[in-house]
Amino acid sequence: MPGPVLVAVEDDPEALCNIERELRDRYAPGYRVECLRSPHEARSRLEELAASGDEVAMVLAGHWLSGMTGSELLNEARHLHPHAKRGLLIGWGDWGDRDTGEAIFESIAEGRIDHYLQRPSGSPDENFHHAVSSLLLEWTEATRASPHAIRIVGDSWSGRAYELRDALERCAIPHNFCLADSENGRALVAQAGDGARLPLVVLPDGRVLIDPTNPELALAAGSPVNPERMDFDLLIVGAGPAGLSAAVYGASEGFSTLVVDQGGIGGQATSSSLIRNYLGFPRGVTGRRLAQDAYTQAWIFGAKFAFMQRATGLRRDTDELLVHLSDSGPVSTRAVLLATGAHYRRLGVPALEALNGAGVFYGGPTTEAPATAGRDVYVLGGANSAGQAALHLARYAARVTLVARAASLEAGMSHYLVRQIEATANLEVRLGTEIVGGGGDGWLEQLVLRDREDGTEETVAADGLFLMIGARPHTDWLPAEVDRDERGFVLTGADLGDGDSRPRDRPPVLLETSMPGVFAAGDVRHGSVKRVASAVGEGSAAIQLLHRLFAEHGVEPRGRAKEPASLAGR
Ligand SMILES: Cc1cc2nc3c(=O)[nH]c(=O)nc-3n(C[C@H](O)[C@H](O)[C@H](O)COP(=O)(O)OP(=O)(O)OC[C@H]3O[C@@H](n4cnc5c(N)ncnc54)[C@H](O)[C@@H]3O)c2cc1C
């Protein structure tokens, strides 16, 4: 029988019987369900399936099995079937047991299991099915097995075919790729008919696009490219977490809202394969899913979007603000939210890039720090931000190593931080050193350090790596009226300080820039936390502040207003 396999193992016969019934009743039409009574049997079956190339979508294992724990078995399953989702089955109330709770926490943190599920009891048990279908959805997305995926056919992995994949990736649109001389590729080229040139794109509804431009591709996939109208209450530049959150709140508060992005939705969040620290998603959420859902939510509230459009200029025109776009005329708006994020310098070590979010983190350790308790962690960077991160981590971790390329810390770090670092017993500094390799099985385990002077390499055990090697904000296009710090991040509210001597009727409110009516939220803002949750929080807070300003200045949102009023505040 064809189809991916669902494996479950429990040594309690009654529990196994319940699991088997629930799995077969609901999933048998699309999956092969195999339920096994012992970890020994499960291990041999998983080995057989791996040897025969059968696809395993999910493995569920009871917490206490004879001879080994469920999480040990699931850890073994990960080696045999790296894509399979792994769930630990527990009984009702087991989470209250200290040992079980600790075991679950440790197993998830170390990547041995994806999550835990409560064993089914009555039938149908929708809680059980909710957990199972979430795991299966993640598996479908990770393996690009979605029936709605766009298929790209090219004659090589690089060139234009790569650019098309990248454009779809940036729009968070499911897609997969095949080479023209593969079996699938030949079938798709034949389907496209005579005269089809490569690369070609086959849409889920059967339409074929021959070497489309990025905007043509976005448009065909249902992503708007041009603004529907040219005047709005609020124009948001950037459709990352900050921009999407502002779009949801702006549109739901009745502002006519346009979001423009030079790519698609999700910003940097789409490069995170699993965001585990976002409120309300105990199993974690992929950046792509979060972006897609936020986009749908904003769209349902009436926000308009224009993708593949770069904001190239911003100026005031009497009472309005004008935003110039790369591929359409200037759009007039009463307020602007800058949510353009920042571009992080990447380490460029593929084995470590693959562990992004699994022990390897870009940016500071704001939320991850407590989880490093008792562990051995590394920080890469030589500037103040790296020093602060290392000191913060040293409060939790057993040992912190600050790795810097420079021969001395003084070159890039404030003196007070250098002194604090020297005085911190569990903080070691490795100067003149770079990180050139590393890896781990589902979670970072080791790093390869290279001495820049003599080229010697050393492999060290590591549980965490925080990369603070520089971020550049997308702010080059802004006018001089928008004040920025020395690295280009936008100053807002109190950060504008007393040095701002421009005449104005009112001081800038929180999150407002030096240009009245222009706000900034998320990574682009000086002093922001550089996390999804804080970007989302700032995006929504900007809307509340804007609402207050509109009310104070008698500005009615365009949807409701007859006579437009001004927010310029000068
Ligand atoms: C690899 C990686 C993994 C991460 N993992 C996590 C994690 O697990 N948890 C977590 O909390 N945080 C994580 N982060 C950080 C998180 O992704 C960012 O803090 C968050 O995305 C910031 O959101 P933002 O909306 O401010 O900016 P961004 O996400 O950077 O979005 C900015 C958007 O603006 C657009 N843009 C820029 N300039 C222009 C212009 N001129 N015109 C039009 N559009 C423009 C860009 O195309 C982009 O879509 C990760 C970051 C990286 C790089």
Q: Taking 90 as the threshold, does the pLDDT of residue 163 lie above it?
A: no
Q: Ligand 1: which residue has its CA nearest to atom 35?
A: 238
Give the residue whose CA is nearest to atom 30 of ligand 1: 341
**What is the model's pLDDT at position 270?**
78
Mean pLDDT of 510-530: 94
C-alpha–C-alpha distance, residues 78 and 88, integer Å? 13
The pLDDT-based confidence of 498 (bands split at 50, 70, 90) is low
Q: Using a pLDDT cut of 70, give the percent of the chain over it.
A: 94
- pLDDT of 55 strictly over 80: yes
Question: What's the mean pLDDT in 131-156?
Answer: 85
* pLDDT value, residue 141: 79
Choosing from 223, 268, 277 the residue with most ligand 1 atoms within 8 A of its CB, the one to mutate for a pocket test is: 268
Distance in Å, CA 443 to ligand 1 centroid: 23
Q: Is 238 in the pocket of ligand 1 (CB under 6 A)?
A: yes
pLDDT at 562 over 60: no
Query: From the CB of 267, is ligand 1 less than 6 Å away?
Result: yes
Q: Give residue 563's pLDDT band: very low, low, confident or very high (50, 70, 90).
A: very low
CA angle 449, 452, 458 (to 5 degrees): 25
126 burial via Cβ count (<10 Å: 0-12, 13-18, 19+): exposed
User: Is residue 529 over pLDDT 60?
Assistant: yes
pLDDT in tens, 191-209: 888 778 899 999 998 899 9
Q: Is 427 left (phi over 0), alpha (psi -120 to 50) or beta?
A: beta
Q: Whose CA is nearest to atom 14 of ligand 1?
A: 531
Residue-level length of the chain: 570
What is residue 260's predicted lDDT score, i.e. its pLDDT? 96
Q: Cα(242) to centroid of ligand 1, in Å?
A: 8
Q: What's the CA gap between 90 and 124, in Å, rounded?
A: 18
Query: Does residue 273 carry a pLDDT above 80?
Result: no
Measured between alpha carbons, how far is 60 from 54 in angstroms, rounded to an integer? 17
* Of 80-94, 117-131, 494-508, minimum mean pLDDT range: 494-508
Least confident of 141-155, 307-321, 493-507: 493-507
- Residue 110 predicted with pLDDT over 60: yes
What is the pLDDT at residue 560? 44
| Average pLDDT over the chain, rounded to an integer | 88
Query: Is the omega angle on the peptide bond into residue 4 within 30 degrees of 0, that is, cis?
Result: no
The Cα 163–Cα 151 span in angstroms is 14
Q: Is the dihedral of CA 157, 158, 160, 165 positive or negative?
A: positive
Which three-class secondary structure state does DSSP give residue 345? coil
pTM here is: 0.79
Span 233-258, average pLDDT: 96
Residue 286 near ligand 1, beta carbon < 6 Å = no
Q: Which atom of ligand 1 is nearest to the CA of 539?
A: 25
What confidence score (pLDDT) does residue 162 get? 78
475 lines ligand 1 (CB under 6 A): no
Q: Is the CB of 534 under 6 A from ligand 1?
A: no
Start-end of H helices in 213-334: 214-220, 241-252, 287-300
Take atom 9 of ligand 1 and give the residue whose Cα is closest: 275
Q: Which of 26-40, 122-136, 141-155 bottoms out in mean pLDDT, i.e. has the lowest?
A: 141-155
241 lines ligand 1 (CB under 6 A): yes
At residue 373, φ and ψ (nearest 5 deg) are -50, 125
**Ligand 1 within 6 A of 366 CB?**
no
Q: Does the pLDDT at position 20 exceed 70? A: yes
The pLDDT assigned to 559 comes to 56
Looking at residue 569, its pLDDT comes to 43
**474 Cβ closer than 6 Å to some ligand 1 atom:** yes
- Ligand 1 contact, 523 CB (< 6 A): yes
Cα(397) to centroid of ligand 1, in Å?
Answer: 27
Is the pLDDT at 416 greater than 90, yes or no? no
- Pocket lining: 271 vs ligand 1, CB cutoff 6 Å: yes
Any ligand 1 atom below 6 A from CB of 310: yes
State which of 278, 340, 465 you would mutate to test the pocket of ligand 1, scoring each by most atoms of that ligand within 8 A of its C-beta: 340
Cβ–ligand 1 distance for 297 under 6 Å, the answer no
Q: What is the pLDDT of residues 445-482, one digit of tens each?
A: 999 999 999 999 999 999 999 998 888 899 999 999 99
Which of 92-101, 385-394, 499-508, 540-549 ranks highest by mean pLDDT?
540-549
The pLDDT value given to residue 105 = 80
Whether residue 104 has pLDDT greater than 90: no
The region of weakest confidence among 234-243, 304-313, 349-358, 561-570 is 561-570
Q: Which atom of ligand 1 is nearest to the CA of 260?
A: 43
Q: Ligand 1: does its nearest atom lie under 6 Å from the Cβ of 446?
A: no
Please report the pLDDT score of residue 278 as a whole number. 83
Q: Does residue 364's CB lie within 6 angstroms of at least one atom of ligand 1?
A: no
Q: How many angstroms does the Cα of residue 213 sit away from the middle of ligand 1?
A: 24
Distance 256 CA to ligand 1 centre (A): 24
Q: Is the CB of 531 under 6 A from ligand 1?
A: yes
Higher pLDDT, 109 or 544: 544
